[in-house]
Amino acid sequence: MTMGYKKIVLLKDTGSTGRTKEFYNLFLEQCRLENLQDDVQIVRVADIGMYDKGIVVRIIPGDITYAGVTEAHIQKIIQQTLKNNKPVKELLFTRASKQMRVVLKSCGEIDPENIKDYIACDGYQALKTMLAKSSSEDVINELKTSGLRGRGGGGFPTWMKWKFARQIEADQKYIICNADEGDPGAYMDRSVLEGDPHSVVEGMIIAGYAVGATKGFVYVRAEYELAIERVEKTIEQAREYGLLGEHILGSDFSFDLEIRLGAGAFVCGEETALIASIEGKRGYPSPRPPYPSVKGLWGKPTVINNVETLATVPVILRKGGAWFASIGSENAKGTKVFALTGKVKNSGLIEVPMGITLREIVFDIGGGMLNGKKIKAVQTGGPSGGVIPEHLLDTPVDYENLQKLGSIMGSGGMIVMDEDDCMVDIAKFYLKFCVDESCGKCAPCRIGGFQMLGYLNKISEGKAGEDDIELLERICNASKKASLCGLGQTSPNPVLSTLKYFREEYLEHIRDRKCRARKCVDLLTYHIGQEKCKRCSICMRNCPVNAISGDKQQGFLIDVNKCVKCGKCFDVCKFDAIIRE
């Protein structure tokens, strides 16, 4: 893997100080002084799979990871690890062991811009063996054995999609990689494209061979500049090596790839809308059937797979479908990448075997809750998913289980919420997202979403009656049943699931005009607790609307009629004397 270098040092400032370059230069300089410049390569990486751990240094081979490195440690690392292969014990970072890396295995460990690194890690081996030995049917059967299901959200068995497209006779078929990752709070695809783009390209070539397609498109969000750059380089390198283009590796099989950029439309993650977008049109979805595997891009059979799915394919062919099927649970095989974020100590990308419980993810891998707060719920599946309350956290994660709970697996966003998060507010947040992103083609989604949001606003403003919950539920169910595409069918999920598990909270907003998480501004009142007040007057001086009056002798009062509930006084008070309820 080292290509002439004996060691590679990966570097990344995972804090917010942006000192990666500084440390890069320090390492470079020190290595030069020690005459190591020909043996050690120092690489700055965009993502190292760890966050918030200060300067992180990873040395390969050996996979030694150091976190919280300071200038003073550099000499020690060079002397002990680079020269004598001994770890610096006090800096060692150990990864939580419940993870299992299949898709993310090479991310952060190989140079994503160098095809040789990927090849050195058995890359393109699966393609080579397949072209020499397997028929397209063999490939599909292997996938069937593996039990791989779509990782983009739907969870449709990948082999079936491929088989349908393979069966149809057509002069042209297409493979599309869906990298239009639009869920707020999810960045799995980005990390794979940036960290191990060749695995996705290899997966696409294999898919092409299996279904008889000769042309593929990678549809990437325009916002992911580095990912686009890396995929471009990857395609170029693959062409140079005869892995893309005419007669791949001397065989009869030809396949080539192009990049198409998304332009910021969430609905384009839906496969029929994505196809419209590649065709250069507005991203409007169309009714299914016909499914894209029958009639897709420009009317031709098209297989659309998500980044993670495609990146898994080469590993399955290399290690065998049975191996993959041995990982995970009864209903769901293999591993899944999640973007664990929210109020959890270690947020970041994780890859876990299917069937692990949410509690294990949050507490064993995520390290538990931030600031010692109590966990309230975990949200999975982004705006199409739902919340799972604390008492159900022991549910094993798989497609069906999450669906039964009113959520979905989705593409892998996983957001941890604590008692400071208001469930009405959360539902509103996700719904607003879907209302903004609704393409407007069908009425249930366009109008229904708007109406649902109206009711939620009423509730959070304390203006709703109890009947409104029922109406809200009816619209949710209508949108679920009648919407044209996945966006409108799933956008009520956050509302319905919060209603299911946190109905009390909704009722509190309506009956008592109270928001227990103190998030719904309209339901809050501010006043000054005189016993704690030191009469420093900082609140009065900071109030933007002069709602606070008084003096140092008399004390201070907030005029509720003038108060705009901005919370400024609450933030500036050093004595916790402002009471918000």
According to the binding rule CB under 8 A, does residue 263 interact with another protein?
A: yes
Strand partners, 218: 177, 259
Q: Which one, 24 or 429, has the nearer CB to another protein?
A: 429
- SS3 of 221, please? coil
DSSP result, 112-154: TT-HHHHHHTTTTHHHHHHHHH--HHHHHHHHHHHT-B-TTSS
CA distances from 148 to 63, 324, 396, 467 (A): 29, 8, 18, 44
Tokens at residue 314, please? 């080469």
According to the binding rule CB under 8 A, does residue 351 interact with another protein?
A: no
Burial 54-91 (b: 16+ CB within 10 A, else e): bbbbbbbeeebbbbebeeebbeebbebbbeeeeebeeb
According to the binding rule CB under 8 A, does residue 266 interact with another protein?
A: yes
Residue with tokens 């992911």: 224
Please identify which residue in 22, 38, 122, 279 interacts with another protein, judged by CB under 8 A: 279
Please identify which residue in 41, 341, 380, 483 interacts with another protein, judged by CB under 8 A: 341
Query: What track of x and - describes contact with another protein for positions 73 through 112 (by CB under 8 A)?
Result: ----------------------------------------
According to the binding rule CB under 8 A, does residue 342 interact with another protein?
A: yes
According to the binding rule CB under 8 A, does residue 547 interact with another protein?
A: no
Segment near another protein (CB under 8 A); pick from 61-69, 150-158, 410-418, 548-556: 410-418
Q: Which one, 22 or 279, has the nearer CB to another protein?
A: 279
Please identify which residue in 23, 187, 501, 526 interacts with another protein, judged by CB under 8 A: 187
Query: What track of x and - describes contact with another protein for positions 450 through 489 (by CB under 8 A)?
Result: ----------------------------------------
Alpha-carbon gap, residue 168 to 93, rounded angstroms: 52
According to the binding rule CB under 8 A, does residue 369 interact with another protein?
A: no
Q: Which one, 137 or 258, has the nearer CB to another protein?
A: 258
Q: Which one, 14 or 483, has the nearer CB to another protein?
A: 14
Contact call for residues 468 and 455 (beta carbons, < 8 A): yes
According to the binding rule CB under 8 A, does residue 505 interact with another protein?
A: no
Query: What track of x and - describes contact with another protein for positions 198 through 237 (by CB under 8 A)?
Result: ------------------------xxx-------------
Please identify which residue in 147, 283, 301, 321 interacts with another protein, judged by CB under 8 A: 283
Instruction: In angstroms, give the least distance from the CB of 222 to another protein.
Output: 5
Please identify which residue in 292, 348, 381, 386 interacts with another protein, judged by CB under 8 A: 348
Q: How many residues bind another protein (CB under 8 A)?
A: 46
Q: Interaction with another protein in 413-442: which residues (CB under 8 A)? A: 413, 415, 417, 421, 429-430, 433, 439
* Beta-carbon contacts of residue 372 (< 8 Å; ≥ 6 apart): none
- SS3 of 546, please? coil
Please identify which residue in 83, 116, 282, 514 interacts with another protein, judged by CB under 8 A: 282
Query: Which of 386, 46, 348 is closest to 226 using CA atoms?
Result: 46
Specify the pairing of strand 348-353 against strand 55-60.
unpaired
Residue with tokens 């419940």: 98
Tokens at residue 10, please? 């990966």
Q: Interaction with another protein in 5-44: which residues (CB under 8 A)? A: 14, 16
Instruction: In angstroms, give the least distance from the CB of 380 to another protein.
Output: 11
- Length of the chain as a residue count: 581
Contact call for residues 57 and 8 (beta carbons, < 8 A): no
Please identify which residue in 9, 48, 55, 186 interacts with another protein, judged by CB under 8 A: 186
CA distances from 276 to 218, 262, 294 (A): 14, 11, 15
Alpha-carbon gap, residue 416 to 361, rounded angstroms: 10
Count helices and strands in the chain by DSSP H and E runs:
23, 17
Query: Which of 261, 256, 103 is closest to 180 using CA atoms?
Result: 261
Positions touching another protein (CB under 8 A) are 14, 16, 51-52, 182-187, 190, 222-224, 258, 260-266, 277-283, 298, 339, 341-343, 347-348, 379, 382, 413, 415, 417, 421, 429-430, 433, 439
